[in-house]
Structure 1
Amino acid sequence: MTAMTEVKQPNFLLMKRVWIAIALPIVIFYFLGMKGLVQLALIWIFVSIMLLMFAYKKFRIKKWNASTKDHFGETDGIWSHEFGPTAMKLDEKRGLIHLKEENKQKTYPFSAIKEWRYNLSTTRERAGIDKELDRTHDFRESGFYIAVDDIQYPEWRVMFFPKQGDFNSQEGIRDTELQLKRWMHIFEKVINKG
C-alpha cells in the first residue's frame, strides 16, 4: 500500500485565541457601552494584542507541523520527503535520487551516494553568567545529510520539522528524531538493496 502523509493546514481565523481577542471588545461594549469600552481601552487592547501574538505563534508552529509531505512507496518504489525549501525523492525502480536544497536541485544515480547521516542538534550553550545547557532543537544545524560524488555539491541537507509539538519541546524533539531514524532505515533498505 502506498502511503502519503500530509496534515491539514491550520486556519488562523478559526483559532480560539483569535475569537477571544475579537469577542473581548464586543462583550465590553455590550455590557458597559461605548463609555466602558473607551475607559477600558488600554486593558482590552493589551489583552487582545497578547492573545493575537500567542495565537500567531501557535498558528506558525501548527502550519510548520502540517508542512511536511512524506510519501512511503512500498508498492510503487517512490519514497519522498519535502519540507520548506528542501526535498528528496528516491525512485527505487530507476535507481535515482532527486535532491533539492534552497534554489539548487539535482538528480543522481544511487551509485553516486557516498553516505547519509542525520544531525539532531538539541543542546546549545546559553550566553550569560551561568552558561548552562539549553535543551532546545537547533533548527539551523539539524537535518538529514546526504553526501554524493559531486565536486560542485558534495553534501545536501534536507530539513525536517516535528509533526507534533515544536523544537523547544521534548515531544517535538522525539518526533523529529523518529522521522530522521525512519529515513535512515529507508535509505539502508533502498540504497543498499540496489
Structure 2
Amino acid sequence: METDERQAATARTGFQKVSAFVDWNSQIHISGDKKQRDPMATAEMVLKKTTTRIARCLGGIDPGGRFRVQLRLYHGWHKGFQPTANRIAITTVLASKNFADLSPLRNVVFDSNVAYGDCLLHALSIRLHARLGIHLPNTLQTQHGELTEKMVDTALAADVVSNAASQTDEWIVVVAEDDDLVPPVFTAEALLARYSSKVLMLQSRNRSENFLKLQHIMVKM
C-alpha cells in the first residue's frame, strides 16, 4: 500500500524520487582536498561538486525526466561519541545552504532533508544511542596510530540493499570509488528488476570491464 501511495505521489508531482548514497571520504579525495586543511571549505566544495555530478548523471540518463534527490552521506562522523570536524562542517554548511542552488540543471532538485549514514535506514530503534540518536557512533577510530573509518562501507551497503527492497519506486545512485560496493549495487539491481527503477554507480576513475559486468550500471563522471 505504501509503495502504491509513493508511486501515485510521483505521478502527481511529475518527479522521480532518487536516493543518493554518497561515500563522503571518496568524494573528498577526488575533489582535490585530500589533506582537508579547512573542514568548512572542504564541506562546501565537496557538496557542490558531488551534487553537480549527481545532477549531470541523472540528466544524462534521462534528459527529459524530472528528479528529486535525497542525499545520504556516509563517513566517519563520530570519534567515540564526539562529532568530528567534518561532521560539524557539513552540518553547518547544509544549515545555511539554499538547496535550489545545488543543481546546475532545472530538472534535478535536491531535497533539503539530508541524512547521515550513522543512522541506518532499517535498524531497530532499541539500537539507537540514547543521546546521539544514531545507530553507529565511533565510526572514526585510531588504529596503529592512524585514523580509520569503521562500519562506513558496510552501513552504506546495508542501506542500499534495504532501500531497494522497501522503496521499489525510487532510483538509487551510489556515489563511491570502492569496488567493495559493487556487490550491494548488483543486489539492489536484482531486487528492482521487476520495477522501472534504476540503480546507478557513479565513479570518476577509468576502468575496464574485463572482470565485472558493469554495463548500464556504472556511470563515469
TM-score tier (shorter): under 0.3
Q: What TM-score results when the alignment is normalised by the length of structure 1?
A: 0.23
Q: What TM-score results when the alignment is normalised by the length of structure 2?
A: 0.21
Q: Which has the larger radius of gyration?
A: 1
The structure with more strand, counted as a fraction of residues: 1
